[in-house]
Amino acid sequence: MNVIDESGILAIATRLQRLSDQIRKDGFQVYKAHGIDFEPKWFPVIYTLFHKPVLSVVEIANEIGYTHPSTISLLKELEKEKLIRSKKDKIDERKRLLQLTEKGQILVGQMQPVWDVLKMATAEMIDTENNLMRAIEEVEGQLKEKSFFDRAAAQMKRV
């Protein structure tokens, strides 16, 4: 075991990221193996527009939990791929409304079985004593109650 893994908790951010990268890379390969040209980073937008067919930029950003600039750059790529298209909102001229193109809808259809495979593979992978998905949800809940910074500040006073 290396020093970092031993440091445990202190390098938790690093280890979360490492795990994320690993899963994402393999995810890309899974799509590829199914002959589908799709990048995992596109998933949140596509999945969201599949379930809520017409949304503005900021609405999508909120749904996927990204900032709006990050969202915009994803939208640009997806428009370039012709998987989504946009139109001005006639009521509110500031808004740009996004939706899947027909090509996008067909792709979603092709991806559904892949999503099932990914779901099952992930479920199997994280089905250990401490379930990773539930742990994430629980910690997200904890952070909502009290930020990590506030927790550290509270500990500080105790010392």
Partner DNA sequence: TTAATATATGTAGTCTACTACATATATTTG
Partner DNA sequence: CAAATATATGTAGTAGACTACATATATTAA
> Which residues from 97-116 bind DNA, rule CB under 7 A?
97
Of 65, 138, 55, 43, the residue nearest 89 (C-alpha)? 55
C-beta of 17 vs 76, nearer to a second copy: 17
Backbone angles phi, psi at 85, to 5 degrees: -140, 165
- Picked from a second copy, DNA, none, the partner binding residue 1 (CB below 5 to 8 A depending on kind) is none
Smallest distance, DNA to C-beta of residue 58, A: 3
Token pair for 151: 């927790």
The contact mask relative to DNA for 65-84 (x = CB under 7 A, - = no) is xxxxxx-xxxx---------
C-beta of 102 vs 137, nearer to a second copy: 137
Only segment of 93-101, 111-119, 126-134, 148-156 that touches DNA (CB under 7 A) = 93-101
Smallest distance, DNA to C-beta of residue 129, A: 27
Q: Which of residues 32-71 bind DNA (CB under 7 A)?
A: 39, 41, 56-59, 65-70
- CA dihedral for 68, 86, 96, 64, sign (positive or negative): negative
The count of chain residues that interact with DNA, using the rule CB under 7 A, is: 27
User: CA separation (Å) from 142 to 9, 15, 35, 146?
Assistant: 16, 19, 40, 6
Write out the H or E segment, with its range, that includes residue 96. Answer: strand 96-100
C-beta of 2 vs 93, nearer to a second copy: 2
Dist. CA 61–CA 70, nearest whole Å: 8
